[in-house]
Amino acid sequence: FWLKNLHICFSVVMPPTGAWSQTTTRTVVTLNVYDLVEQTPILGGFFHTGVEIRGIEYSFASGAGVYECGPRQADGAKFRESIEMGFLEEEARLSSTLARLREEFHGDSYNVLFKNCNDFSDALCRGALGKGIPAYINRFAWWGRQAGRCCKCCLPAHLRPQNPAAQPLTHESSFTVFSGTGAALGSTGQAAAGPAAAGASREARAAAAERRSQSLAGDATQ
């Protein structure tokens, strides 16, 4: 009799296995922030970002479009911090958001002011979580957009939006875009291209990073 009552009490106190697993396996969404130059940010800075979900970091670069890499391992940038954005509640919402953004953020559409990696991170977080990234992350680009609207002729041709009617994706720099090749979503990555292609890709990203650093250094001395 005593053992029977103990079994009943234990069954009432302990949550069902399914309910327990649901509360302990929530998927966290993390924004990884990188410095593109040596800097002490005041109000904003020159940042690259990627969104980490289940051990995969999603980002956007010129030429590569939307790509995947290891967490906190973006080429040509120095990792600064991780910001927890929230928890993923709907798997289908993430899948549909990634599918839409892969079409929208193709490699040729990159623009350092109007459609950059931070715009992608913001759009992914808004689609998956319903909230955007901190405003200071893309503030310099936002300022550039406002100046460009006031006096478009002051912007170099490569900084002007490809579609003048397009609106910036966020609510709130050098002239060399953040570039990379990465592994496009849905592809098998660099491994499928073989060691030679992977080596060439690394050299191309290193060269792009060097050109970006030199450009930023030149802008800072002007």
Q: Cite the active site residues.
A: 48, 117
182-189 contact pairs (CB < 8 A, 24+): 182/59, 182/61, 182/64, 182/67, 182/68, 182/69, 183/67, 183/68, 183/69, 184/64, 184/65, 184/66, 184/67, 184/68, 185/58, 185/66, 185/67, 185/68, 185/98, 185/102, 186/102, 189/68
Q: What share of the chain is helix, strand, coil (3-state, %, to 5)?
A: 45, 20, 30
88 alpha-carbon distance from chain centroid: 16
Place of tokens 């609510």: 171
CB atoms within 10 A of CB 218: 12
Alpha carbon of residue 132 to chain centroid: 11
Structure tokens at 119: 């715009």
